[in-house]
Amino acid sequence: MQKSWDVIVIGAGVAGGLAAFDCARRGLRVLLVEKRSFPRWKVCGCCFNANALAALTAAGLPDLISDQGAVPLDQLRIGWNGMALNLRLPAGWALSRERFDQALVNAAETAGATVRFETSAVLQETSTAGRMVQLRPPGGAPVQRIKARVVLIAAGLQHQVLAHFHEASSKSTPKSRIGAGSFISDDSSSYEFGAIHMAIGRHGYVGLVRREDGALNMAAAFDRDVIKGDGGVARAAEVVLNQAGFALPQNLESSRWQLTSALTRRAGLFSGHRFFLLGDSSGYVEPFTGEGMAWALAAGAAVAPFVEEAQGEWTKDLEQRWRRRLVDLTISRQRLCRLLSTLLRQPLTTKALFSLGCQWPAIPQRIIIRLNQVSPSMKSS
């Protein structure tokens, strides 16, 4: 293992995978480290929107989603209290994270990046014109210390990469919901290909979509208390689906769910001496609008010029400009999602919004179109 790199990318999710690809194709020496083995399943709705595609296109991978056999999505069906609202989706694709994240890593490797799986990374002290990183390889092999001119932290919602930096710890919003995900085989005709089904209940919501392999992917957010109750997460999902008026998928009872930490959280910082944060590591809001991957990909597609610049001197100005870029690309776009998630927690507001939407579907349709509008800052990256 080489001891010194131009950039070490920590985390091979959507943000890290795309950043590693873009840095490698610019000729930088890239090491991408991922603590899990791939391909790996992860809690996610698996739905990509027009902004996600725009970020991939900006980075030079316009066909990555379609080449992996993604299912085109053109319908959004929202259920609440036995009523259904059917809306048109201007653009969307469903693709499992096993396939998508693996395809990104393959692209990064082909572009010249070195990839290490089952390797956990922790950020350490600065050293001459660089930053040290500790790597814990698999199988009890000795811990390694290596150096990079720049480190990209793309380690997701909750991680230990900044364990030595107390000021950097992210904070979750009080009462933030917990994420949960599962996928099951279901041969019923209730959940057709090409549609996102969103069930809204009193204590959470569940999104269901058919993946490219026909399995039914379920991704949800619940109030903390309900998943502690009898029957755990599968029961909480059943309650939400019943409240929404959706059919119960086959095998729901025996489904196995994985949980996330509290979903809505703010990062303690966006960068520090010779490192940048991106993707969920730089802050996240509840996934109601299903845009997290688009935000993470946008950051992944935007960071390489900063990394190139940082091969020379590191300046505070670079940190400030990365912060502004992140605000532009992701944080400002999270406002609408935060607003919708907050409103949908109030039963009276939900009722009013749903009745309004059923009476004038043009209103929610406009929101959907707005969410799918490619941000001008994405076009310019």
Ligand X SMILES: Cc1cc2nc3c(=O)[nH]c(=O)nc-3n(C[C@H](O)[C@H](O)[C@H](O)COP(=O)(O)OP(=O)(O)OC[C@H]3O[C@@H](n4cnc5c(N)ncnc54)[C@H](O)[C@@H]3O)c2cc1C
Give the footprint of ligand X on this chain (CB under 6 A).
Answer: 10-16, 33-36, 43-47, 120-121, 154-156, 159-161, 179, 181, 219-221, 260, 263, 279-281, 287, 290-294, 296
Given the complex with ligand X, which of 335 and 351 has the nearer CB atom? 335
Min dist. Cβ of residue 151 to ligand X (A):
11
Q: Which two tokens stand for residue 30?
A: 């890239």
Rg of the chain, C-alpha, whole Å: 21
Report d(CA 62, CA 304) in Å as an integer.
17
Q: Which two tokens stand for residue 365?
A: 């349709």
* H/E segment holding residue 105: helix 97-110
Burial of 32 (0-12, 13-18, 19+ CB in 10 A): buried
Given the complex with ligand X, which of 225 and 352 has the nearer CB atom? 225
Min dist. Cβ of residue 56 to ligand X (A):
12
Given the complex with ligand X, which of 42 and 358 has the nearer CB atom? 42
Report d(CA 87, CA 248) in Å as an integer.
21
Q: Which two tokens stand for residue 98?
A: 């096993």
Given the complex with ligand X, which of 53 and 318 has the nearer CB atom? 53
Given the complex with ligand X, which of 293 and 326 has the nearer CB atom? 293
- Contact call for residues 302 and 57 (beta carbons, < 8 A): no
Given the complex with ligand X, which of 43 and 310 has the nearer CB atom? 43
Min dist. Cβ of residue 16 to ligand X (A):
5
For residues 124, 272, 121, 134, the Cα torsion angle rounded to the nearest 10 degrees is -20
Q: Which two tokens stand for residue 191?
A: 């959940």
Give the β-pairing of 93-94 and 71-72.
antiparallel
Report d(CA 203, CA 287) in Å as an integer.
15
Min dist. Cβ of residue 291 to ligand X (A):
5
Given the complex with ligand X, which of 256 and 351 has the nearer CB atom? 256
Min dist. Cβ of residue 355 to ligand X (A):
26
**Closest to 279 measured CA to CA, from 18, 5, 8, 57:** 18
**Closest to 254 measured CA to CA, from 287, 270, 276, 231:** 231
Given the complex with ligand X, which of 22 and 34 has the nearer CB atom? 34
